[in-house]
Chains A and B, each alone.
Chain A
Amino acid sequence: MKRQAPLIITFLAGFAMILGYFIPHEPFGSLQQILNTWYMVVAAFAMILGVGNLVKLHSAKIRRRSPGFGYSYVLLAGLAAMALFGITRGIEPGTVFYWMWWNMHVPMSSTMFSLLAFFVASASYRAFRARNVEAALLLIAGILVMIGRVPLGDMIWSRFPDVADWIMNVPNAAGQRAILIGIALGVVSTSLRLLLGIERTYLTGD
């Protein structure tokens, strides 16, 4: 029964969602929205589990004096400060939480995001080496698109932007759509396996 109950719940919930997609009449029409709301409520409460896990792991690191345990102090202090100021003083403009968010969190996130530029450069350097025919094609297409997307390309030859657009709108779009069709079929196949109880890896216990 421990295994059958989740299977039955999965089947009923999944089947209800499918019915909700095809039947606009109540109660089916709003099922998806209701279940999504339920999910959001559950996920919000599950946040406590995440925070609890974080506190537990880093407290243990500090207790054990594991390598880099100093960073755990920073993490726990940051977590406590944000939660404390957010709950007691609010999150509106002018509050401490707001200041910390915009002057500490956002710049740090932007720093991580900006690393992407350097990673794109290093990955492109490896990918654009013309080792075989496919890599050479990738290199040529990449160069044409890059030249076509900058003002310099237009200055060299006015048709470069058109060539870049053609590569993006025809071969690239065709490839992406083929991938998307495959993904859609994969999603349906995976969903069927789960709904029919063929895929049971997610189940535990006997």
Chain B
Amino acid sequence: MRLFLITLSVFCVCAVVSADAQPRSPQIFDLVEPFPSVFPPEQVSARDLPNDAGGSVTVSWRISRSDPEVDAYEILRGQELEGDFSVIGSVEPGTCEFIDTGVSDGVSYFYAVRAVKGEVKSESTPSAEVSSSAQWFNRNRTSMLIALAVFSLLVMWFIYRAKKGVELFIRKISGLEAVDDAIGRATEMGRSVLYIPGIMDMDDIQTIASVVILGRVAKKAAEYDVHLHVPVSKSLVMTTAQEIVKESFSAAGRPDAYNPDNIHYLTDDQFGYAAGVDGIMVRERPATVFLLGAFYAESLILAETGHSVGSIQIAGTAMPAQLPFFVAACDYTLIGEELFAASAYLSKEPLLLGSLKGQDWGKAIFMFLIGAGVILETLGIINLSRFLVTR
């Protein structure tokens, strides 16, 4: 027992002596820095924004572990890894992506993101080097390019066949079949034909389609010697319509019957135009009203007024929201694509009819793709639908 106590004492003395002799070893709480009040964002990466005209870089990161407490993330950009980084933008907490549109193509940049909470800022490690560049093809639109190419080839193929003299079957469109009768009715009644080419300008494809149809209607009106009245809501539409009607009257051998004052401007204002056209309808009581083009809320106001004065009405638009109004209020309605088919249909020219045939085949391809898409999606194969989506 004594021996044990002596050994223990010696051991303790040695231990105390050795502790005093050596420098004090660091404690565990000295090695670990205190917990930061805000954790920095992590895994910051930067890449050139694909399929663009250059000048932009996408910066992405993993949000800070302190995200709920963070006030904002600041995005920093520098041209050297060890150089100065300047703040180029700020985003809200929870955001993990930022598109920098202030870069120059071909110049290398580094990015860092820092979480900000009051005065405390916690910065991430910088991203890898990145530079932006412009692309020569938007790959997100590959499916669109293929569809356009296939459809264009189909149209051109049928135009070629029509040129060769092959007779093409085109389904009957009752609204267009009624055009001649409608103008004939105006002749018999001794009243005018009112043509409304919509309320949009010449940069709208519906207005373009409408003024092309106006040419056909004007030719018929000239042949039947009917007064054609075209109030428009855009100056450019007025000048275009005047030229087209003049040409049609000349083609019909009635250049003397053309009066430019019959194609006139009312106003650019939507409801001002509706009020003006309503006034014309009530005063003139036209035998026939054509409402062909792009329409918005004024569609039903015009169509109902036309109905109330007893006009036969042929309407057509590619605005799906306005179609029910025209169907309810007009005698004939050209639904969507029929508006674009009207000019070709009325002309009966083989070349133009060929394009209609191509349009029908395009629709058949779309129907097949929709069917295939439904089956593949049901089977969990999503590659087709992914490919078809364009951005």
B325 contacts A203, C-beta separation under 8 Å: no
Complex Cα distance, B265 from A43, in Å, reads: 14
Partner of B297, one of A24, A116, A192, A204: A116
CB-nearest residue of chain A relative to B239? A49
Please, which residues of chain A bring their CB within 8 A of the CB of B351? 198
Per-residue CB proximity of B43-73 to A under 8 Å, as 1/0?
Answer: 0000000011110000000000000000000
Please, which residues of chain A bring their CB within 8 A of the CB of B363? 181-182, 185
B283 contacts A183, C-beta separation under 8 Å: no
Q: How far is the CB of B252 from chain A (nearest CB, A)?
A: 13
Please, which residues of chain A bring their CB within 8 A of the CB of B201? 43
Partner of A49, one of B136, B209, B238, B329: B238
Complex Cα distance, B265 from A176, in Å, reads: 33
Q: Which of A26, A49, A109, A112 has the most CB of B within 10 A?
A: A112
Partner of A112, one of B54, B151, B301, B340: B301
CB-nearest residue of chain B relative to A48? B235
Complex Cα distance, B138 from A60, in Å, reads: 55
Please, which residues of chain A bring their CB within 8 A of the CB of B272? 108-109, 112
Please, which residues of chain A bring their CB within 8 A of the CB of B352? 193, 198-199
Partner of A113, one of B297, B343, B347: B297
B211 at the interface (CB under 8 A from A): yes
Please, which residues of chain B bring their CB within 8 A of the CB of A8? none
A39 contacts B203, C-beta separation under 8 Å: yes
Q: How far is the CB of B280 from chain A (nearest CB, A)?
A: 11
B291 at the interface (CB under 8 A from A): no
A24 contacts B53, C-beta separation under 8 Å: yes
B194 at the interface (CB under 8 A from A): no
Complex Cα distance, B261 from A127, in Å, reads: 37
Please, which residues of chain A bring their CB within 8 A of the CB of B159? 196, 198
A42 at the interface (CB under 8 A from B): yes
Per-residue CB proximity of A38-56 to B under 8 Å, as 1/0?
Answer: 0100110011111101100
CB-nearest residue of chain B relative to A44? B235
Please, which residues of chain A bring their CB within 8 A of the CB of B155? 189, 192
Interface-facing stretch out of B32-40, B106-114, B120-128, B331-339? B331-339
Interface-facing stretch out of B9-17, B79-87, B242-250, B375-383? B242-250
CB-nearest residue of chain A relative to B319? A183
Please, which residues of chain B bring their CB within 8 A of the CB of A198? 159, 351-352, 355
B387 at the interface (CB under 8 A from A): no
B136 contacts A53, C-beta separation under 8 Å: no
Please, which residues of chain B bring their CB within 8 A of the CB of A57? 261, 264
B235 contacts A202, C-beta separation under 8 Å: no
Per-residue CB proximity of B189-202 to A under 8 Å, as 1/0?
Answer: 00000000000011
Known: A185-B151, A202-B212. A50 touches B235 (CB 8 A): yes
Complex Cα distance, B243 from A203, in Å, reads: 8
CB-nearest residue of chain A relative to B302? A119
Please, which residues of chain B bring their CB within 8 A of the CB of A196? 156, 159
CB-nearest residue of chain B relative to A195? B152
B240 at the interface (CB under 8 A from A): yes
Complex Cα distance, B208 from A186, in Å, reads: 12
A124 contacts B265, C-beta separation under 8 Å: no
CB-nearest residue of chain A relative to B135? A24
Q: How far is the CB of A109 from chain B (nearest CB, A)?
A: 4
Q: How many residues of A contact B (CB 8 A)?
A: 62
B235 contacts A49, C-beta separation under 8 Å: yes
Partner of A119, one of B301, B338, B339: B301
Q: How far is the CB of B309 from chain A (nearest CB, A)?
A: 14
Which B15-43 residues have C-beta < 8 A from chain A?
A: none
A30 at the interface (CB under 8 A from B): yes
Please, which residues of chain B bring their CB within 8 A of the CB of A25? 53-54, 134-136
CB-nearest residue of chain A relative to B216? A201
B243 contacts A29, C-beta separation under 8 Å: no
Please, which residues of chain A bring their CB within 8 A of the CB of B246? 204
A120 at the interface (CB under 8 A from B): yes
Partner of B145, one of A22, A109, A123: A22
Which B128-170 residues have C-beta < 8 A from chain A?
A: 134-138, 141, 144-145, 148, 151-152, 155-156, 159
B300 at the interface (CB under 8 A from A): yes
Q: How far is the CB of B291 from chain A (nearest CB, A)?
A: 14
Please, which residues of chain A bring their CB within 8 A of the CB of B54? 24-26
CB-nearest residue of chain A relative to B347? A201
A180 at the interface (CB under 8 A from B): yes
Beyond A24-B135, A108-B271: 12 further Cβ-contacts under 8 Å? A43-B236, A54-B265, A112-B275, A179-B323, A181-B363, A185-B151, A185-B359, A188-B151, A190-B208, A192-B155, A193-B355, A198-B352
Interface residues of B (CB under 8 A from A): 51-54, 134-138, 141, 144-145, 148, 151-152, 155-156, 159, 201-203, 205, 208-209, 211-212, 215-216, 234-236, 238-240, 243-244, 246-248, 261, 264-266, 268-272, 274-275, 283, 297-298, 300-301, 303-304, 318, 320, 323, 325, 327-329, 335-341, 343-344, 347, 351-352, 355-356, 358-359, 362-363, 366
5 A-B pairs with C-beta separation under 8 A: A109-B270, A123-B303, A127-B328, A201-B244, A201-B247
Interface residues of A (CB under 8 A from B): 18, 21-26, 29-30, 36, 39, 42-43, 46-51, 53-54, 57, 60, 68, 105, 108-109, 112-113, 115-116, 119-120, 122-124, 126-127, 176, 179-183, 185-194, 196, 198-199, 201-205
- 10 shortest A-B CB distances, which residue pairs? A186-B340, A50-B235, A182-B337, A186-B337, A112-B271, A29-B53, A127-B328, A50-B265, A201-B215, A46-B235
